[in-house]
Structure 1
Amino acid sequence: MATEAAPISYEDLAAIEAEFQEIDTEMMRKQHAASRTAYARRAEAVARIPNFWPLVLEQAPPEIDQHIHSHDSRVISEHLTGVSVTRVELEEEEEGGATAGDPRSLRIRLEFSPNDVFSDEALEKTFWYRRARDGWTGLVSEPVRIHWRKGKDATEGLTDGAVALFEAREKAGDMRAKGLAEYAALGKKVEHWNGANTSFFTWFGYVSGRRYISAEESEAATAEYRRRRDARKHGEQVDVETAGGSEDQDDEEAEDDQAVEVHEAGEELAVAFAEDLWPDAIKLFTQAQEMGEMSDPEFEEDDGEEDDDGSEEEVVDIRSLVQSTGKAKSRDSSGPPAAKRAKR
């Protein structure tokens, strides 16, 4: 007589899913190590191509493009000079860190030439992959102050408000404090805009898709998660933690900070930079050039018959494709690429 198989529980499925996530994380780590040399060669090459990164951003995937407003596009198209994405914990590990870094933590840096919107030469934002005590996981970040020039704050005070609240909570010693003047002020601003981003740059004020998780809380929660995982592998009956599973609904709602989150899609945008735009930058740049060729009736392929001095570099001059000659993307001296101007 056949023995009836034990039913599969939700905890069993969650444990299997956790194994897949661990495999994906290990693959990220190996890919990072394997691609370092190629990324270094790419950085050296694209540094010699004018307007490379503005054209890449012009072809950005929807997860990024939908947040770029027309006034953002002008700054990006005229003044963005560099983009970099690093797996920040892996970089720290390689520099002598004591613990194994998580490849899901990111640092994204945008560099700009002098402009009339803000005085910063670079805007750099770090996203840490962390685990809450109830099992929730995700990217959290500290808001970044942007030094806007007078009357040019494209975020309508949202980034300044996010920085002010974060600093007030740090001073109070409670990163979940809500009885602060800064909390009330930022809540009113967020409610006024009703979740609509005023600018791509509100992203620099992003904190969390739920609430801020400290490094200490994450470390303790991760240790408990690993203890449960290892116990389960040894046959012990241990429930797999799920987000919200160890707290009452009232407590869960009390820790939700979305009423003062200035950019609801902050994590999705960071992941899109890291997993789509950054690795596919050359492909996106090429697409921008192809679109420019198709849209410009005066563009003709250089068959080498004109202006040929016999050197190999004259055969394909990729730099000429992105200089302001009218043969790359259609642009004027006072605005962003045509595709962005027509967008909104």
Structure 2
Amino acid sequence: MAAALEETPVSYEDLADIERDFDDAETDIIRKQVLLTAPLYSRRSKTISQIPNFWPLVLEQAPPDIDQYIQPSDSALLLSSLLNLSVSHFEVDLDPRSVSIRFEFAENEYFDDKVLEKKFWHRRSRDGWSGLVSEPVGIKWKTDRDLTGGLLDMVVKAWEADKSTSTTSQSNSNGAGNSSRGLTPEQKALKKKIENTGMGGLSFFAWFGFIGRHRKSRSRSSSRTPSSDEDEESVGEDDVGMSLEIFPDGDDLAVAFTEDLWPGAIKYFTQAQEQDALSDADFESDDDEGLDEPAEDSEDEDERPAKKQRSG
């Protein structure tokens, strides 16, 4: 296969150029779609704001790509306190695949924040990788109510310490870089915490600690957001890698919110209403059957299908 192009006028650079052109075309399509649908989303937001519990009901019917990350304790909080959810494309001119996902909450027993907003930048590296990167978002947990068991706070502290150390290292080395330095004490503590914590069943709110592949290259210029043409080649050499990532599938979850739940919100809300109607019909049917059937036929009860259970 390596010699497949040797006797042709085609080079791998030619093929790479075509791939880049396809990517540019896809980006342009997404940009046009975002601009065309913006008025529709605005209209939808005004309409659904008049429907009580719209977003909790939507989340109740969330697809598996989202639902699998929502634990019972998360669900109790989201279904009782979520007021609004929104997705915005904050870099339409640069890269429309960059998104901000915003949650608005009522007063609750878990944290003081009224708004939790997480931004994802879509970036590409010189080694061909492209995807979403982010920065950790802290949550002001109330006493003994941290659903992440302290992990999210540790990620935020490690991120801030890494930025501070990177800035100092750059200053002392006149911009020579900091690739040779080891983990900060905060990163070491986080790494140990992750190693000693069973990551299965981790709270949905740990998602706010997702960082992604740009950990190393981002720290080299920590005072600015990552640019679209930033050299992230060093990311592939990152010896820290996923060892400090508490939510490895954070980018996939962001995509599920952006490309499924957000555009399909009315569909999921309608499904929730239909599920309620089916549940009510089941209860009414059971009541009617209890009135019509003789008491001696009660042994047939075990053969009836179980009633559908509401997830809320």
TM-score w.r.t. length of structure 1: 0.70
Q: Which residue in the other structure is 1:158 paired with?
A: 151
Distance 1:299 1:35, change over 3 A: farther
Q: Which residue of 2 aligns with 1:288?
A: 272
Which one of 112, 121, 128 corresponds to residue 128 of structure 1? 121
Q: Which amino acid aligns with 1:31?
A: Q
Aligned partners of 1:140 and 1:213: how far apart in 2?
11
Letter in structure 2 aligned against 1:205: G
**Partner Cα distance (1:216, 1:36) in 2:** 25
CA distance in 2, matches of 1:5, 1:189: 55
2:102 is the counterpart of 1:140: no
Q: Hey, what does 1:206 align to over in structure 2?
A: 210
Measured after TM superposition, the shift of residue 210 of structure 1 is: 5.8
Alignment gaps of 5+ in structure 2: 1-5, 168-177, 219-223, 285-307
CA deviation vs aligned residue, 1:249-285 (integer Å, no higher than 9, x gap): xx83435521000100010111111111111100111
Per-residue CA deviations over 1:60-97 (Å, capped at 9, x if unaligned) read: 1211111000000000110000001000112xxxxxxx
State how far apart, in whole Å, the 1-side matches of 2:127 and 2:225 are. 14
Q: Is 1:184 paired with 2:177?
A: no
Name the residue aligned to 2:82.
Answer: 80
Look up the equivalent residue of 2:185 and give its one-letter code: A
SS in 2 for 1:45: helix
Question: Aligned AA for 2:193?
Answer: K
Q: 1: distance between equivalents of 2:39 and 2:229?
A: 35
CA shift digits 1:172-206 (9 cap, x unpaired): 12687542111111111222235435200000011
For the residue of structure 1 that corresponds to 2:138, the secondary structure is: coil
CA contact (8 A) 2:216 2:238 kept: no
1: distance between equivalents of 2:91 and 2:132?
13
Cα 1:40–1:212 change in 2 (3 A) is farther
Provide the residue aligned with 2:47 in structure 1: 45
Q: Over the residues paired in the alignment, what is the CA RMSD in angstroms?
A: 2.7
Q: Greater CA deviation, 23-32 or 125-134? A: 125-134
Which residues in structure 2 correspond to 1:20-59 (within 5 Å)?
20-59=22-61
One-letter amino acid of the structure 2 residue matched with residue 196 of structure 1: G
Show the counterpart of 1:193.
Answer: 197
Mapped to 2, the partners of 1:254 and 1:172 lie a distance apart of 17
Corresponding residue for 1:19?
21
Trace 1:134-283 onto structure 2 (pairs within 5 A): 134-173=127-166, 178-209=182-213, 211=215, 213-214=217-218, 218-221=227-230, 252-283=236-267
* Candidates 93, 96, 102, aligned match of 1:103: 96
SS of the equivalent of 2:243 reads helix
21-30 vs 40-49, which moves further: 21-30
Q: Secondary structure of 2:143's match?
A: coil
Q: Please report how far the alpha carbon of residue 298 of structure 1 lies from its aligned counterpart in structure 2 after TM superposition.
A: 7.1
How far apart in 1 are the matches of 2:237 and 2:94?
A: 31
Cα deviation for residue 14 of structure 1 reads 3.9
Deviates more, 1:193-202 or 1:78-87: 193-202
Separation in 2 of the partners of 1:280 and 1:288? 13
Counterparts in 2 of 1:163 and 1:289: CA distance versus 1, 3 Å: same
Q: Secondary structure at the match of 1:183?
A: helix
Residue pair 1:81, 1:113 contacting (<8 A) in 2 also: yes
C-alpha distance in structure 2 between counterparts of 1:162 and 1:138, whole Å: 21
1:339 aligns with 2:311: yes
Report the residue type matching 1:123 in the other structure.
L
Query: Which stretch shows the higher mean deviation, 24-33 or 13-22?
Result: 13-22
Deviation at 1:133, TM superposition (A): 4.8
How much does 1:219 deviate?
4.6
Q: Distance in 1 between matches of 2:269 and 2:73?
A: 22
Distance 1:125 1:298 in 2: 41
Deviations 1:297-333 (A, max 9, x none): 2789xxxxxxxxxxxxxxxxxxxxxxxxxxxxx9xxx
After superposition, the Cα gap between the structure-2 partners of 1:171 and 1:110, relative to the gap in structure 1 and judged at 3 Å, is: same
Distance in structure 2 (CA, Å) of the matches to 1:46 and 1:212: 41
Q: How many residues align?
A: 268
Decide whether the 8 Å contact of 2:121 with 2:226 is kept in 1: no
Counterpart residue identity of residue 39, structure 1: Y
Residue of structure 2 in register with 1:71 after alignment? 73
Letter in 2 for 1:118: F
